[in-house]
């Protein structure tokens, strides 16, 4: 591997890994509070991206982007209200299966509205790709990485420093005790879904100028975000992004040296290996079950 190939693997891997990590953060935020694995995460992220594409035709891009993020957050909260909360007294497996049904439903709805065509946003910052040592990185990729870092910082500060964030965390630690002291556990769960949708929607929108989006892309985002979340132990926001970058680097190296046909196989192989040999992720901490 020459230095140019190495740099290209790093640039591509970090960019894609940031996307996977942010989707994975959506999994982690929801799981920390409710114990649910929301397999509709990637499709909900695309709801925000498609909303931004539509809104960009009506309003300036700088307004369409935050509105698209709000749409993703709202859609995620609606999923909790209509599909997950009514099943809160059922087993967690039932709730997880419900999210799979939601994913199929969202994908079908997007298919009806947008068809099978490809859609794209204008770049946030115009200009040619940046050349470093013979490797290139798109200016939009810098937005993807930067926004992922901002998401990690904001969510960390929210959960660790704010009163509302501590209330959400209290529901994760002991929902019964949180309810006893007057915290609305259902509201906090809905908030976790909203935060997850906003985080995932942000990177899905930021990714849209880099590559076209289609209604079928949500499945891949969900699977790769889940791999990142598993690497983070389904409990750690920062490690989830690290896990996403690891997956991104593996995929980028596979694409360069083995071809794009093997890229998805590499990700699925990593997921299978994690589930068998390292279900607790990058740390030795065990993930506790929450209700």
pLDDT attached to residue 281? 67
Compute the 3-state secondary structure of the chain and give helix, strand, coil in percent, each to the nearest 5.
75, 5, 25
pLDDT attached to residue 222? 94
pLDDT attached to residue 288? 42
Q: How many whole angstroms separate alpha carbon 128 and alpha carbon 243?
A: 29
Residues (pLDDT < 50) of the chain are 285-291
Tokens 């594409």 correspond to 53
Q: How many whole angstroms separate alpha carbon 70 and alpha carbon 68?
A: 5
Q: Most distant CA pair in the chain: distance in Å?
A: 61
pLDDT attached to residue 282? 66
Interior CA angle at 51 toward 71 and 100, to 5°?
70
pLDDT attached to residue 289? 41
Count CB-CB contacts under 10 A for residue 67.
17
List pLDDT tens digits, range 68-125.
999 999 999 999 999 999 998 888 889 999 999 999 999 999 999 999 889 999 999 9
Rounded to the nearest angstrom, the gap between the alpha carbon of residue 189 and the centroid of all alpha carbons in its chain is 17
pLDDT attached to residue 286? 45
According to CATH, the topology of domain 3-277 is ABC transporter involved in vitamin B12 uptake, BtuC (1.10.3470)
Q: How many whole angstroms separate alpha carbon 265 and alpha carbon 253?
A: 13
Instruction: Provide the token pair at 282.
Output: 């990058």
pLDDT attached to residue 90? 86
| Closest listed residue to residue 12, CA positions, set 252, 213, 241, 267 | 252
Cβ-Cβ contacts under 8 Å for 151 (sequence gap 6 or more): 22, 25, 199, 202, 203
Model's pTM, two decimal places? 0.91
């Amino acid at each position: 591997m020459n230095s140019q190939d190495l740099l290209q693997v790093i640039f591509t891997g970090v960019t894609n890994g940031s996307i996977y990590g942010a989707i994975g953060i959506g999994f982690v935020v929801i799981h920390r509070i409710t114990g649910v694995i929301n397999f509709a995460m990637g499709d909900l992220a695309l709801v925000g991206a498609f909303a931004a594409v539509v809104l960009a035709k009506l309003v300036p891009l700088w307004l369409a982007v935050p509105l698209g993020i709000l749409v993703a957050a709202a859609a995620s909260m609606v999923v909790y209200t209509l599909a997950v909360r009514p099943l809160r007294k059922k087993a967690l497996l039932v709730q997880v299966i419900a999210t799979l049904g939601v994913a199929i439903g969202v994908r079908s709805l997007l298919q009806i509205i947008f068809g099978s065509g490809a859609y794209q946003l204008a770049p946030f910052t115009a200009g040619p790709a940046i050349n470093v040592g013979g490797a290139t990185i798109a200016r939009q990729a810098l937005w993807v990485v930067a926004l992922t870092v901002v998401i990690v910082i904001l969510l960390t500060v929210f959960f660790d420093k704010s009163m509302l964030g501590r209330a959400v965390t209290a529901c994760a630690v002991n929902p019964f005790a949180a309810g006893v002291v007057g915290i609305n556990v259902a509201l906090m769960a809905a908030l976790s879904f909203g935060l997850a949708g906003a985080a995932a929607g942000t990177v899905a929108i930021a990714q849209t100028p880099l590559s076209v989006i289609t209604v079928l892309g949500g499945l891949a985002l969900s699977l790769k975000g889940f791999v990142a979340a598993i690497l983070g132990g389904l409990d750690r926001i920062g490690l989830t992004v690290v896990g996403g970058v690891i997956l991104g680097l593996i995929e980028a190296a596979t694409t360069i040296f083995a071809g794009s046909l093997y890229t998805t196989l590499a990700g699925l192989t990593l997921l299978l290996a994690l589930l068998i040999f390292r279900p607790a992720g990058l740390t030795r901490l065990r993930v506790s079950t929450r209700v």
